[in-house]
């Protein structure tokens, strides 16, 4: 649902990270777009970030149907969609592009369950000066 609201909760005091700004922007746009598509009516998407050890974890959290653990690798492949019923628009490239750009920058994209339902996509960004 493209009309799902997006709540952004970012602390402007987060430490600097080492990333390609343009690629990271594409990652975040694809993750938010994917989360909005799968969010049920009346729910929203949350984007937040926190310093964790020697990294910053940027999270995109939705309340959609989630991704079964056994399919989390498959949805990272190009043109793979969890649901081909036509209920959700798209080519199945969003997570593949986000995952590819994340790996190209030497980072990691984790897909986990959101407590209460949904997916939490976490981009693990190294702190500047730690690599």
pTM (2 d.p.): 0.85
Residue-wise pLDDT tens digits, 48-89? 999 999 999 999 999 999 888 887 776 766 555 555 544 555
Q: Among 106, 98, 99, which Cα is nearest to 131's?
A: 106
**Phi-psi bin for 44: left (phi > 0), alpha (psi -120 to 50), beta?**
beta
How high is the pLDDT of residue 63? Answer: 93
The pLDDT-based confidence of 6 (bands split at 50, 70, 90) is very high
CA–CA distance, 108 with 94 (Å, rounded to integer):
16
CA–CA distance, 92 with 57 (Å, rounded to integer):
24
CA–CA distance, 114 with 66 (Å, rounded to integer):
8
How high is the pLDDT of residue 85? Answer: 46
């Amino acid at each position: 649902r493209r009309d799902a609201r997006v709540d952004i909760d970012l602390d402007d005091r987060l430490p600097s990270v080492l990333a390609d700004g343009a690629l990271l922007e594409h990652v975040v746009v694809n993750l938010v777009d994917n989360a909005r598509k799968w969010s049920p009516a009346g729910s929203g998407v949350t984007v937040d970030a926190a310093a964790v050890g020697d990294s910053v974890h940027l999270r995109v959290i939705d309340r959609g149907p989630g991704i079964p653990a056994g399919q989390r690798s498959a949805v990272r492949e190009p043109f793979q969609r969890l649901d081909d019923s036509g209920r959700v628009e798209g080519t199945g490239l969003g997570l593949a592009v986000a995952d590819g750009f994340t790996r190209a920058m030497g980072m990691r994209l984790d897909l986990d369950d959101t407590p209460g339902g949904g997916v939490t996509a976490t981009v693990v960004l190294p702190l500047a000066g730690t690599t």
